[in-house]
Amino acid sequence: MPGKIFRFGPTPEHRAQHLFVFLHGSGATSKSMIPIAFRFQARFPSAALVVPSGFAASEVDREAQQWYSSRGLTDENRVQRVSAILPRVEALVRREQTNCGVPTERTVLIGFSQGGTVALETVKQVPGLAGAVVAYSSRFARLPENGARIGARVHLVHGEHDAVVSRVHAERAARTLAALHVPVTLDIVEDLGHALTHSAICLGSLRLLQGIYEGRRATLH
């Protein structure tokens, strides 16, 4: 159902140090992201997990959800559609931050496909809401413009043979973010299409761990 949210606390011996919000792809459900969420928690046992459902019913599967309509979607109207839901995304994330007692810099948005686009646009258009993004098989609705300030680390993981969202979008995003001095990583996974595999999930969580470590090390110098 649209609006349904699954919440999982950190492992029993930990209190919440991070908040991970998982955003599924179009035509999927929040349940589809729960296994991914637990794989991230295996590497981050102190993370609280939030797995919301898309805001609208899918137009191709009545049992699934989407964040915004994909019917008649074009490069011209994609930004408008994503921007229209961002206040609801921001409200959701801020509510969960308050509930978990986790600050913005320890909040991570993790999304696949349409969910990854929502995550990327959120940190672009709502500065300071999250400290990092892990985006799988995703793209910006529109690449950040010169002078844009994005205060989040961005980790892009994309299939080499993705026929739904071309790897070109991830490559362009990585170059644009690097030019803006945004910490960014890009991994193109060989022989992978538009899908999430165990190795791709582990790669994204590894990049997130490395980014957190690098950030901590930078503050010590």
How many degrees, rounded to 5, is the angle at CA 46 between CA 42 and CA 50? Answer: 80
Contacts of residue 62, defined as CB under 8 A and 6 or more positions apart, other chains included, come to none
Whether 124 and 146 have beta carbons less than 8 Å apart is answered as no
Q: How far apart are CA 147 and CA 161, in angstroms?
A: 32
Whether 185 and 211 have beta carbons less than 8 Å apart is answered as yes
Question: Where in the sequence numbering do the catalytic residues fall?
Answer: 113, 162, 194
The single-letter code of the amino acid at 160 is E
Q: How far apart are CA 111 and CA 52, in angstroms?
A: 11
Which tokens go with 45?
């046992």
Q: How far apart are CA 49 and CA 57, in angstroms?
A: 23
Which tokens go with 105?
């810099």
- At residue 133, the 3 state secondary structure works out as strand
Of 54, 50, 64, 56, residue with least CA distance to 6: 50
Name the pairing type of β-strands 153-159 and 132-136.
parallel
